[in-house]
Structure 1
Amino acid sequence: MKKGILLVNLGSPESPTPQDVKTYLGEFLMDERVIDLPYIARAALVKGIILKTRPKASAAAYKKIWWEEGSPLIVISERLQAKVQKEIEYPVALAMRYGSMTIEKGLKQLVDQGVDEVFLIPLYPQFAMATTETILVLAEEIRQAHFPNIKIDHLPAFYNRPDYIEVLSNSIKHHLESKTYDHVLFSYHGVPERHIRKSDVTKSHCKLDGSCCKTPSKAHEFCYRHQCLEVTRLVGEKLNLKPDTFSTSFQSRLGFDPWLQPYTDRTIERMGLEGTKNIAIVTPAFVSDCLETLEEIAMEGQELFHEVGGKEFTTVPCLNEENAWSELLAKWINNWADTTATT
């Protein structure tokens, strides 16, 4: 069988215009694994409220971070794809869960090159319904409908792999070595609390009571909250951070249902009000800088911190197309290829 690689990230609007942002948000928010309400309720919320009010504001936010080459997320992902391709002998395609760079197009690009065994890599360190799961479910639907003769394998969540933690920790250390900071805040994209319970394979472990994420369980394989906390803990250990100098928070909540806490914006505000003068923000739920890191954290977060008395606000870039990251992906790909060649 001829092997091929499909890297998959979130996606982006075609341009930072209200119409293109509306089209993108419509596809994104109507995904039943993103807003997990019954279709009628989801459509009423998304089409009846959100898409009538949010596209203009979101377009303005995208415009602030848009590069000459295009969407930062897309440009960075393409650069990463090119670097990984140089490291391995297998064809590498790039797709997005939402937008015009579809998973179907990515698979077709590989099939057209004779590939019949695909290693799909969701570019998310942690598992979540709204990220990894929706990619894998859609990829399988597309395979059955359009490419029934290919086989798809995938990279599981890699949040706790020692080599990933080493690459992430080294990157953070490099970007902070000349900076002044009193506290490192690990900010992860938030999800509704109900997503955690829905992903609990035991149907009883995830109580979100402060202890379940620390108690060993099969539920942790698919528990986004546990996996985020583990990244923070493992990087903290790797960098020898003192317990009171780093913490975890969650950003980008939507709607009025309870989401994972503590919230990043409120944490930044509280720390500034309590006298923290220098803070560094790391965003390990993302491997590529995007709207949530470049605008929500680096711009809005910094403005908020300064408003409440903070001074130095440092944002650590994502891994993006760093050599160590592309080389690690290439190593995982080659390991997969070697393993599948013998089975």
Structure 2
Amino acid sequence: MSIDTRPVGVLLLQLGTPDSTEVSDVRRYLREFLSDPRVLDIPAPARALLLNAVILPFRPRRSAEQYEKIWTENGSPLTIHTETLTNRLQESLGDGYRAAYGMRYQNPSVESAVAQLIAANCDQIVVLPLFPQYSSAATGSALEEALRVIGGRWNVVNVTTISDFFDDMGFVESVADVARPHLDSFQPDHVLFSYHGLPERQVKKSDPTGEWCLARAGCCDQMVEANRFCYRAQCFATTRSVAAELGLDSGSYSTTFQSRLAGQKWIEPYTDVEVGELYKRGVRRLAVLTPSFTADCLETLEEIGIRLREQWRDTGGEDLLLVPCVNAEPKWVSAVAEMVRGVT
């Protein structure tokens, strides 16, 4: 194979999932995930104490029960959707590219995915974490691991990274295209955009000035240099773009944050709190989009599709619709292909 005909490697990265719903597998996954200093960004002794004395003795069993509710006969929904996306992306890109995927935590590993691309004689790799909005905890950690693996080889290939795509029109249109028929059929009173949460301290650390993020009113109303890497600001920007694409009226939608841990201040407003306020305002039919996730997973299917729906109905709400993620929909596959072609 000549140098001119070597394919470009495409490394898709997702957060990760346990190998099964067995408590031991869930514990192994949680240990690796929560040992990451970008995820629990506290001093190492405190992180070890929190993990070993508070989280791991109790949470694996509870999480295993939650995974059991969304597990399929083919395994984890996150793995299934990511593998399907990878295969369809390969078909879309053609012979000049080789696509592979890896999980930041557990399997298939980033190392195994990189090995596939090297075995295919790729001398350039595009690394694309499948997180639309940048966060150090997800995107930063995934990129750090990919660069560690690639950089640890004797022959280090050229690497291009894509750190976010919160305002990429291919992504925005893909989210809207998936949502539109569901919303037309469901006819919600309100559309809620629910994003994964982050501790406030991590958002503040993304602001190099220390004077913008969460330091002034309306800090997320526009993208400026100070909040270029602000996860919260990028989430609000995604909401504005998708809402505009869907033609949603002002006041008919809102942005919230889910999946917070107790004992620390997380970015607001909180999804589980806001739904109560929406009910008080007369909302009875609630649709929820989760555009910080590109593939349906525990946080969408179980946290929103099961737990939040139960909370909504217990509150008195008529119904709650979870709009699917973009997963491996054709328009999303094309959007990913265009992002890759745009940097190669």
TM-score band w.r.t. shorter chain: over 0.9
1:177-227 superposed Cα distances (whole Å, 9 cap, x missing partner): 111210000000000000011111333321354322225521332100000
Is residue 285 of structure 1 aligned with residue 299 of structure 2? Answer: no
**Which runs of no fewer than 5 residues in structure 2 stay unpaired?**
none
Task: Give the Cα separation in 2 of the matches to 1:303 and 1:208.
Answer: 35
Return the offset for 1:234: 1.2
Bigger mean CA deviation after superposition, 211-220 or 170-179: 211-220
What is the Cα deviation at residue 274 of structure 1? 4.0
- Tell me if 1:327 matches 2:339: no
Structure 1 residues 205 and 147: CA distance shift in structure 2, 3 A: farther
Question: Does the CA contact (< 8 Å) of 2:191 and 2:289 recur in 1?
Answer: yes
Q: 1:80 aligns with which of 64, 75, 85?
A: 85
Counterpart contact for 1:282–1:315, Cα < 8 Å = yes
Distance (Å, rounded) in 1 between the aligned partners of 2:264 and 2:20: 30
The answer to whether residue 10 in structure 2 is matched with residue 5 in structure 1 is yes
- Which residue of structure 2 aligns with residue 181 of structure 1? 188
Query: CA offset at residue 43 of structure 1?
Result: 0.6
Say which of 272, 279, 302 aligns to 1:272.
Answer: 279
Quick one: structure 1 residues 56 and 81, their matched pair in 2 at CA, closer, same or farther if it must change by over 3 Å?
Answer: same
Structure-2 separation of matches of 1:308 and 1:286: 26
SS at match of 1:276: coil
- Name the residue aligned to 2:55: 50
How far has the Cα of 1:229 moved from its partner? 0.4
Query: Contact 1:273/1:308 (CA < 8 Å) preserved in 2?
Result: no
**Which runs of 5 or more residues in structure 1 are unaligned?**
338-343
Q: Is 2:225 aligned against 1:218?
A: yes
Partner of 1:258: 265
Counterpart residue type for residue 149 of structure 1: V
Contact 1:275 1:309 in 2 (8 A): no
1:303 aligns with 2:310: yes
CA–CA distance in structure 1, aligned partners of residues 194 and 104 of structure 2: 23
Is 1:242 matched up with 2:249? yes
**Is 1:142 the equivalent of 2:149?**
yes
The amino acid that maps onto 1:10 is L
CA distance, structure 2, for counterparts of residue 332 and residue 151 of structure 1: 17
* Alpha-carbon distance between aligned partners in 1 of 2:154 and 2:307, rounded to the nearest angstrom: 44
Between the aligned partners of 1:248 and 1:148, the Cα distance in structure 2 is: 45
Partners of 2:17 and 2:106 within 8 A in 1: yes
Tell me how far 1:163 sits from its aligned partner.
2.6
1:198 aligned partner: 205
The match for 2:24 among 3, 19, 31 is 19
Q: Partner letter of residue 174 of structure 1?
A: P
- Counterpart AA for 1:175: H
CA positional deviation for 1:334: 2.1
In structure 2, the residue matched to 1:64 is 69
Q: Identity of counterpart residues, as a percentage?
A: 39
CA distance in 2, matches of 1:180, 1:163: 25
Please provide the CA RMSD for this pair. 1.3
Contact 1:269-1:304 at 8 Å conserved across structures? no
Q: Report deviation, 1:276.
A: 1.5
Map 1:24-43 → 2, pairs under 5 A: 24-43=29-48
Q: TM-score, normalised by structure 1?
A: 0.95
Aligned equivalents of 1:192 and 1:29: distance in 2?
Answer: 14
**3-state SS of paired residue (2:38):** coil
- Please say if 1:170 is aligned against 2:177: yes
Letter matched to residue 177 of structure 2: N
Q: Is the 8 A contact 2:223 2:233 kept in 1?
A: no
